[in-house]
Amino acid sequence: FPGVVQSRIPPEQSDILGVESQHGTAADALTKAFLKNSLPHMKDEDVEEMMLRKAVVLEYKRPMKKKGKTRKAKGLNAKERRQLKIFQLKPEHQKYDLFLPLHELWKQYIVDLCNGLKPGSNPQMIQQKLLKADFHGAVLTVVRSKCPSYVGLTGILVQELKHVFKIITKEDKLKVIPKRNSVFSVEIGDFVTHIYGSKFELRSSERSAKKFKIKGTIDL
């Protein structure tokens, strides 16, 4: 076998290590025996063939692609949202007229959703569709409420949060109305819908997936 497999230990180190290197033929014989034991039991030619082809690259290894957990775009949590104030309308934006085009868009959306609002359409069908509809841009009116000062407020819905409606009235005032214990009415073409706020306390995104059960009469 070519190549250096053994060499003599320098004498200083042999003192430290406490071993004596063997010389000459004894060393050769020992080396040969050791190698024979270590190598797999194959013919010499096979072993050489195995070794010839493969270059074992020790230093330049390709870095393994770290898979990791694929992180979804987490979005901001509520604290960050509040800090960025993305949901707060600046006073110069609080004008009723600015939201009128939104209302027009919403009307179009609803008409499309209900396959054209014909006077003869079935109210039940429309109701089913409205349960899953989005109300941003609708004109809401508070019709009944346990707290009488909310009754009569009318405006365009700017934001629907989990427990409140934020509407902007004709006097350019942004009003926050809690959904609970109130009944809202929405006018769509010739139809008027009453929304019982207490049952609507869901985020608009979650409402589209919720099944509403019919439970008796609703008293505020």
Partner 1 sequence: MSPELEKCPRSLLVCEKSNFLNEKSRHDFHVSKHNFNYKISVLMPECGMLPANISTVINSFSHYYLVRALPVHELLEETFLESLVKKGHFYALSYNTKIDEDNSIALLSSGQLILSLDKDTYEQLGLEGRPSLYNHGKAMRLVVTLDLTDKSLSPGSKRYQRVLSSLKDRLPLRYDFFFTKYNTGADEEKTLNKLLSQYSYEEHKPAVSHQTLKEIPCPTLYPSDIQGKTLSCDPHHFLEWLGAVNLDISCENAADSFLSTYVCPEPQSSVSQALLCTVTGFISPENVFALLKELRQYFDEPRFTPWVSLTVHGFMDSPVSWGATEHRFLKGGENFYNFVCFKNQDYWLHMATGAQDGCPP
What's the min distance (Å) between Cβ of 185 and partner 1?
Answer: 11
Q: Which is nearer to partner 1, 39 or 220 (CB)?
A: 220
Query: Is residue 137 near partner 1 by the rule CB under 8 A?
Result: no
Query: Is residue 199 near partner 1 by the rule CB under 8 A?
Result: no
Query: Is residue 101 near partner 1 by the rule CB under 8 A?
Result: no
Report the site for partner 1 in 63-82 (rule: CB under 8 A): none
Query: Is residue 180 near partner 1 by the rule CB under 8 A?
Result: no
Q: Which is nearer to partner 1, 2 or 148 (CB)?
A: 148
Query: Is residue 145 near partner 1 by the rule CB under 8 A?
Result: yes
Q: Which stretch binds partner 1 (CB under 8 A): 43-51, 118-126, 129-137, 147-155?
A: 147-155
Size of the site for partner 1 (CB under 8 A): 10
Report the site for partner 1 in 149-178 (rule: CB under 8 A): 149-152
Confirm if 174 and 166 have CB atoms less than 8 A apart.
Answer: yes
| Distance (Å, whole) CA 65 – CA 61 | 12
Q: Which stretch binds partner 1 (CB under 8 A): 56-64, 124-132, 142-150, 188-196?
A: 142-150
Query: Is residue 148 near partner 1 by the rule CB under 8 A?
Result: yes
Which residue of 103, 107, 144, 175 would you call a contact of partner 1, by CB under 8 A? 144
| Distance (Å, whole) CA 160 – CA 170 | 18
| Distance (Å, whole) CA 106 – CA 79 | 30
Query: Is residue 38 near partner 1 by the rule CB under 8 A?
Result: no
| Distance (Å, whole) CA 202 – CA 164 | 10
Q: Any residues with CB less than 8 A from the CB of 104 and at least 6 apart, and which?
A: none
- Residue 25: its H or E element: helix 24-38
Q: Among all chains, which residue has been given the structure tokens 């390709």?
A: 62
DSSP states of 47-93: HHHHHHH-----S-PPPPPP--PPPP-----HHHHHHHTTTPPPGGG
Q: Which is nearer to partner 1, 38 or 217 (CB)?
A: 217
Query: Is residue 37 near partner 1 by the rule CB under 8 A?
Result: no
Query: Is residue 192 near partner 1 by the rule CB under 8 A?
Result: no
Query: Is residue 146 near partner 1 by the rule CB under 8 A?
Result: yes
| Distance (Å, whole) CA 167 – CA 153 | 9
Confirm if 162 and 148 have CB atoms less than 8 A apart.
Answer: no
Give the interface with partner 1 as residue ranges (CB under 8 A). 143-146, 148-152, 220
